[in-house]
Homo-oligomer: A and B are copies of this chain.
Amino acid sequence: MFVAERRELLLQRLQADGKLVARDLAVELGLSEDSVRRDLRDLAAAGLCQRVYGGAVPVSRALADYSARRAVEPDSKRRVAARATRLIRAGDRVILDGGTTTLAVARTLPRDLAVTVITHSPTIAAALVDHPLVEILLLGGRVYKHSAVACGAATVEAAQTITADLFLLGVTGVHADHGLTTGDAEEAAMKRVLASRAADTYVLASVEKLGAVSPYKVLDLGAVTGIVTDAFEGEPVDQLRRAGPELILTG
């Protein structure tokens, strides 16, 4: 990737997220923080962003003090996504579920990480097209509007032909008694099929999902390898842990 190209990407990201974090960008772009800082410095010198401690913000919307910026810090989904990304090893075949958290995973995949991503989400596939090394395997079928993923017989059939090392699963409810749940029956079935194709399944559960229950059961807690969450140690987390899965905290 060219320098000019990279800076273009940074500006684009700045507009989308409202801020740039040097450390995260370094990991994501697969280069040292020094180089990222150099980019930010040059962009700031060109008047395209404003440099702040830890990263950069848009010129117009510069926040007064550091603590106020802390408030806009990576929201919980970003944190969970960043931690989940670290579960992926070079060469892995990874199934990415649909949803905003897994989309964040796709966007934070380091650019020097060569993996095969299998997904039934056109949104995730589209987000990964720009990645230089990732090979994308798209599972086709009828696209359900509810959460913008392909579901149904054709998709299940396509899923049956593949295997993977890892499945990053998104759900809307994670409950010690009711297990993993989501809002659509067809999607729940799809998630089960995908889980059956991967050696390990990890649930991405930002803190608001814990304790929540949705109408349709996906899997029991015992059926997954682990749960990635940004919740802190405590009784709710312990309850989940007793049900079987490894609890991976972002803390």
Contact = CB atoms under 8 A, between A and B. Distances in A.
Which of A9, A129, A155, A158 lies at the interface centre, i.e. has the most chain B CB atoms within 10 A of its CB?
A129
Contact of A142 (B2, B122, B136): B136
A136 B144 CA distance: 8
A55 B2 contact: yes
B138 A150 contact: yes
Interface in A30-70: 50, 52-55, 57, 61, 64-68
A105 B139 CA distance: 23
Nearest to A20: B2
A138 B140 contact: yes
A138 B143 contact: yes
Copies in the complex: 2
Interface in A87-143: 120, 122-123, 125-126, 128-130, 135-143
A5 interface: yes
Given A2-B57, A4-B52, A150-B138, A143 B125 contact: yes
Given A126-B122, A140-B150, A142-B135, A68 B12 contact: yes
A66 B122 contact: no
A79 to B, nearest CB: 25
Contacts of A243: none
Contact of A137 (B52, B125, B137, B142): B142
Contacts of A158: 140, 154, 158
Contact of A67 (B61, B130, B137, B143): B130
Contact of A138 (B50, B67, B141, B145): B141
Contact of A64 (B5, B54, B57, B128): B5
A3 interface: yes
Contacts of A12: 65, 67-68
8 tightest A-B CB contacts, nearest first: A140-B140, A122-B125, A136-B143, A122-B122, A129-B148, A138-B140, A4-B52, A122-B126
Given A66-B129, A125-B143, A138-B141, 5 more contacts: A5-B19, A12-B65, A122-B123, A122-B125, A154-B161
17 contacts: A2-B55, A3-B54, A4-B53, A4-B64, A8-B61, A12-B65, A12-B67, A122-B129, A123-B129, A129-B145, A135-B142, A137-B141, A137-B142, A137-B143, A138-B138, A138-B150, A140-B140
